[in-house]
Structure 1
Amino acid sequence: MRYYPAAIALSLICAVSASVGNGATVAPPDAAVELREQGRVALAAGETQAAIDAFEAALAIDPAYTTLYLDLAQAARNEGLRGKAIHYYREMLSRDPNNFAAISGEGEAMVEIGAMEKARRNLAQLQSLCGDSCEETRALAEALTKAPEEKVLTAEAVTPKATVTQN
């Protein structure tokens, strides 16, 4: 009982010092930044595989350099790998849940694969976070309006013709 105030003070000091350490951000190493720039140049030149290699090398140098996931997702979308791009966007969102670029990019990739309802959910999330004037919101809304509505083929629409053949 007499150690109770000391225990509370000690636990408060531990809690405050732990939360301060988690909030600090560290600049990525110069080598990782240089590799990212090389990857962006390669991606702009249409050399997608070289860009992916540079981004992955930068991520190996600094695994906490989370904006690389956005670059990897864009490279995957350029290669036509929508599922892999969605994976990278979700990895970014697991590290930064309110990243507008990741939410918008994931929504655009969803539109590309035809998952319109999920893309609309991303749009609603963006609208609630940053409003309609946000660049990412406008980009996703434009992608949704440009997407053609594909007619879904249902089982009722296809009726098999019964034919009888003799063996």
Structure 2
Amino acid sequence: MRYTSVALAAALAMVSISTSLHGQRPDDQIDARSLALLEQGKGARAAGNVDGAIDLLETAVAVDPRNRQAFIVLAELSEARGLPGKAIRLYREALLLEPNDVNALQGQGEALVAKGAVARAKENLARVKTLCKATCPQATSLAAVIAKGPPVATAQAVPPKNLPSKN
């Protein structure tokens, strides 16, 4: 009688584990709807509709969070809008899905330079060079961005607040 409850619990655990594993898709099978939304987003980007492209790409990621290319295109759009911090986060999401994606490493490195994190960008460059084995355009482009350095921040003149006079 003592063994019956243990055996029943073990059987229930095995059934639930095998059921959950059976329902999962392999990582290389991205939902077709997500891929279609990715292509529509790229088309909207090419047509100059940046806001529409971002909406479509975010929907593609929501439909299938394993769509690495959608994360990369979103990161590129964020970087073009002057949001390197958001671009770094989106590239990181893509790299979590595929750590050896040289395009994501290059893009993240460029965003890191724009943010001022040149040392981390050099780490990305080293990884890109390791993955390429020979010279590749991603390594050359990232090296050029690192050599150029982070953009110089221009201080905008802030008008003083209207303070009450002491007279």
Mapped to 1, the partners of 2:37 and 2:25 lie a distance apart of 26
Structure 2 counterparts to residues 27-66 of structure 1, below 5 A: 27-66=29-68
- Match in the other structure for 1:86: 88
Q: Secondary structure at the match of 1:63?
A: coil
Partner in structure 2 of residue 116 of structure 1 = 118
Question: What's the TM-score once normalised by structure 2's chain length?
Answer: 0.68
Distance 1:124 1:72, change over 3 A: same
Q: Which residue of 1 aligns with 2:11?
A: none
Identity %: 38
In structure 2, do the counterparts of structure 1 residues 35 and 133 end up closer, same or farther at CA, with 3 Å as the change threshold?
same
| Cα distance change of structure 1 residues 131 and 62 upon mapping to structure 2, 3 Å threshold | same
Distance 1:61 1:121 in 2: 32
Distance, in Å, in 1 between the alignment partners of 2:79 and 2:46 is 13
- Report the Cα offset of residue 72 of structure 1: 1.0
Q: Distance in 2 between matches of 1:148 and 1:88?
A: 20
Matched, 1:72 2:52: no
Instruction: For 1:76, give the aligned amino acid.
Output: S
Residue 8 of structure 2: aligned partner: none
The alpha-carbon deviation at position 132 of structure 1 amounts to 4.7
Q: 1:129, 1:26 → 2: CA distance? A: 21
Displacement after TM superposition at 1:145 (Å)? 2.4
**Displacement after TM superposition at 1:98 (Å):** 1.1
C-alpha RMSD of matched pairs (Å): 2.4
In the TM superposition, 1:97-112 aligns within 5 A as 97-112=99-114
Equivalent residue pairs, number: 130
**Which structure 2 segments of 5+ residues have no match?**
1-23, 153-167
TM-score, scaled to structure 1:
0.68
Question: Distance in 1 between the 2:62 and 2:150 partners?
Answer: 39
The 8 Å contact of residues 114 and 151 in structure 2, kept in 1 or not, is answered as no
